[in-house]
Structures are given as C-alpha cells and as structure tokens.
Amino acid sequence: MEIGGRVLEPTADEFRRLLSTVVDYLCATVESLPDAPVARSDGIAELLADPRLRQAPQEAGRPLGELLEVIDRAASKGFNPSHPGLLGFVPGGGIVTAGVADLVADVLNRYTGQATPSPGLVAMETDVLRWLSDLFDLPEEAAGILTTGASLAVLSALITARTALLPADFLDGTIYVTAQTHAHVAKAARLLGFPSEAVRLVALDAGLRMDPAALQASITADRAAGRRPFFVVASAGTTNTGRVDPLAAVADIAADKGIWLHVDAAYGGFFQLTERGRKALTGIERADSLALDAHKGMFLPFGTGCLLVRDGRLLRQAHSMGDADYLQDLRGSTLPDFADYGPELTRDFRGLRLWLPLQLHGVAAFREMLDEKLDLARFAHRELSTVPGLILSEPPELSTFCFRLSSEDATAELLRRVNDEGRVYLSSTRIDGQFVIRLCVLNFRTSLSQVSDAIDSLCRHTAGLAAEM
C-alpha cells in the first residue's frame, strides 16, 4: 500500500483545528502569567516520575489535548522566564510575535545555509544583520551571522581572530578577560584547543570594570615572555553586575597593540537603541567583533544570538568550507551563504524571528521598552538605597545591580524569604567572594508593579531580620 505523506499531512481543516487548540492553550498561558508562580521547586521528583511525561512514543499516537496537558505539567516546575516577576536572571521573556515567526518559518521549512535555495529569505536575514551593524556604527564591509547565542558567537569570533592573527601553531596565543567576563569565553578557548594558561585575568578597578593600565601591563609582560597576545574581551554589561568596561580605553590599547577587540554585548548591547545606553556603550563601535543575544535585550525566544565582525571578509575566510562537490548546485548567488560565516551547514531560518517583530512593532517599541527597564532599575536602586541595613553596589549603568546585608547568612536568608513569597524571584552571585543578591530588570512584561513588589518584600524582610537579631 502506498502511504506517501498523507498520514503526517493534515488537511486544511485539520490544521486549523490543531492550531486552534494550540492557540487556545497558549492564550490561556499568557493571560495567566501574572497570577502564575514565578518559580516552583516543589514536587519535581513526582513530576519526573510521572509515566505520562516519561512515556516512550507508542505505535499509535496520543490526543493533542492530552499531550498539551503533559507539556503544561512539565513546564510548571523550575523558573518561568516569561513571568514578569522573574528579576534574578537576564533573559527577557519571549515575545509571542517571535513565536508566530518561528511557526511560519518552520512550516515554510526553507533552507537558508546557502542563498540559492531561498534567496528572498536569505536577503531578509541579511538585511536584519545590516540593520544590526548599522545600530553599532560598523562599516559597510562588516558581516555577521545569527547564532543560537553568545556562546557560539564568541567561539566563531575566536576562530576568526585566531585565523587572522596567529600562525597554525597557535598555542602561545593569549586571551585577555577579567574575573567578571562571562565564562563562555574560557569555555570557547578550551574547545578551540587553547591551554588554560592562555586565558589571562586582567585586574578590575574599584567599580568592577577592566583596568586599562593592567591590561596594557599584562600584554607587555606576555610579549616580553615570548607569547602572542591576540584577543581581548571587553564587556558591554557583565552578567554579574551589569558593569560596562571602559570600551574606548580598551579599544585604544587593542588598536595600539594590534590585538583583536571582542565586545561581549550579549546582555547590554541592545541598550544601544536608547540614548542612555548609547552613551554608556561609547566605544563599542570600534569592536572587531561583538556578540549579541536578542533573546535578552530584544525579548526574543531562547536561541537567538548574533555575531557581528567589522571585517566580514575575515569571518568568511575563517569559516568557509570550500567547494564541496555536493553543494556545487547551490553556489553562485550574490547573497551571502551563511554556512560560510559560521560552524553550521544546516541551520533554521532564525532571521524571521527578528525580522517579523521589528517590522510588525517598529523599532520605537523596543526602544521604549528598554528605556522603561533602565528607569525601573534606577527606581529600584534608589528606593532600596534608603533601606537601613542594605549595602548596595553603585547605581546601575544598565538594568542590573547587586546588594547584600552585613553577613552572608542574613543575605541568603533574605533572598530565601523574598523568593518564597512567590511574587518575584531574585538570584544570587558572589562579588569578591561575598554572597550578594542580584536584581536584573529585562523582561518586557516587568512593570512598576513587579519592581514595587520586590522593593516591598525586601524592605519587610530586611526589617524582620533586623528585629530578630
């Protein structure tokens, strides 16, 4: 019997009913977000033991309604990044129009690793990358690639810089970071075969930013020892504290020493859309490469990062796979073949989840949302600075800051009590060995209401802890 694709291909009416069921579920999920738990850690063992969740695929399928119930139960534990009260981590919520874009892209199912199979869609993604390059005042010869996130972006940036600046025997190359640089840089260096001693820690100034004088001294000492300094990472908003390294001063040193300047703008880069953000990020336009996470500052779903490189020719030279015979029918387009700009040959059409929301909502909508997050973070810092007993970091440059009580045990207890209330969720980190609470405002759904809830809870529990001592 010839089955063909009929079993897996719904009719138009069946497809409409399927979408209607899914849309009803998603609409109810979004509408219930303000009243849903921001995080849940109870009942995880029971969840993981649920046979409906862990059931292997059967010969006969299961009803969609039953499967959506399983998915909903699976998603009910852990953190909810879509919740407006999640103030502990950076990712920004996942706008639903990007989800619509993913549905369209997945059903269209076009291949965009090369331009010839889908020139129109590749052109749209190329235009998004050009818009991003223009946002950061990069030259016309700049090029980029949409990635799954900044981790893959910095991997490709290191590959590009290594190919351009180091010989084939690259093990004496050195990379400069600080104790506040995201750990994905050291991981990328290890994956590329650099020894652990290739990653140099540059001292921080009193504000937890890279010290340019210390950078210069480290480069000079390494060169005198016969090593090859070639790559420095400056942060445009660190994950821990939201601090911005002195980008212009680091750029001066990199230019003078002939070193590749990579800017990790995964968290803070899209604040470039705002007047205050552009001022804070002065010097970012001088980067040789920069990494962005649109699933943070553009509020898109997880898995949407970007690498931009000042000299696009170098990016292509480092990643081009050459002329494989089986791809000979796909060559010849004037558009870029994205497979030649990153590690992936097969890739999803990521460009639509940026293109559609930008075209649909307009750039101003994102700018206004980011400006609001800057305002909310400053408001929270200002209000908490008046709370007796709380020790705060400097006012936020972007939308993140840290604070603590006088002892680690009290700080940890304060965090536990606030999070146990379930209205908001804050996180912790360590700064110079001290346990601190971290507050980051970046979810597009977060408003004054949730920030006020956090302030109220912190005030009450700080006072309660003081009374107990």
Domain boundary pick from 325, 348, 371 = 348
Domain boundary pick from 348, 373, 402 = 348
207-226: pLDDT as tens digits: 999 999 999 999 999 999 99
Same domain, 179 and 312: yes
Tokens in use for 377? 């973070």
298-345: pLDDT as tens digits: 999 999 999 999 999 999 999 997 777 777 777 778 899 999 999 998
CA angle centred on 243, ends 440 and 132, rounded to 5°: 85
In angstroms, the CA 97 to CA 67 distance is: 23
In angstroms, the CA 356 to CA 349 distance is: 12
Same domain, 217 and 299: yes
Task: Tell me the CATH number at 379.
Answer: 3.90.1150.170
Same domain, 134 and 210: yes
CB 396, CB 208: distance < 8 Å: no
User: Looking at the domain assignment, is residue 90 inside a domain?
Assistant: no
Give the structural domain span for 458.
363-468
Same domain, 50 and 193: no
User: Looking at the domain assignment, is residue 82 inside a domain?
Assistant: no
User: Looking at the domain assignment, is residue 317 inside a domain?
Assistant: yes
Same domain, 143 and 230: yes
Same domain, 53 and 142: no
User: Looking at the domain assignment, is residue 326 inside a domain?
Assistant: yes
Residues in the chain: 469
Per-residue burial over 69-88, b = 16 or more CB atoms within 10 Å of its CB, e = otherwise: eeeeeeeebebbbbbbbbbb
DSSP letter assigned to residue 230: E
User: Looking at the domain assignment, is residue 49 inside a domain?
Assistant: yes
Domain count, the chain: 3
Which has the closest alpha carbon to 387: 400, 373, 405? 405
Same domain, 396 and 330: no
User: Looking at the domain assignment, is residue 185 inside a domain?
Assistant: yes
Listed as ranges, residues in the chain with pLDDT below 70 are 1-5
Which has the closest alpha carbon to 269: 283, 284, 259? 284
Same domain, 328 and 373: no
Same domain, 330 and 374: no
Same domain, 331 and 397: no
SS3 200: strand
Which has the closest alpha carbon to 296: 273, 263, 277, 268? 268
pLDDT for position 333: 81
Same domain, 23 and 142: no
User: Looking at the domain assignment, is residue 144 inside a domain?
Assistant: yes
Same domain, 181 and 259: yes
Task: Tell me the CATH number at 171.
Answer: 3.40.640.10
Report the chain's mean pLDDT, rounded to a whole number.
94
Pairing, β 427-431 against β 434-440: antiparallel
In angstroms, the CA 156 to CA 188 distance is: 9
CB 235, CB 180: distance < 8 Å: yes
Domain boundary pick from 292, 322, 348 = 348
CA angle centred on 450, ends 82 and 209, rounded to 5°: 80
User: Looking at the domain assignment, is residue 390 inside a domain?
Assistant: yes
pLDDT for position 331: 75
Tokens in use for 262? 């990579």
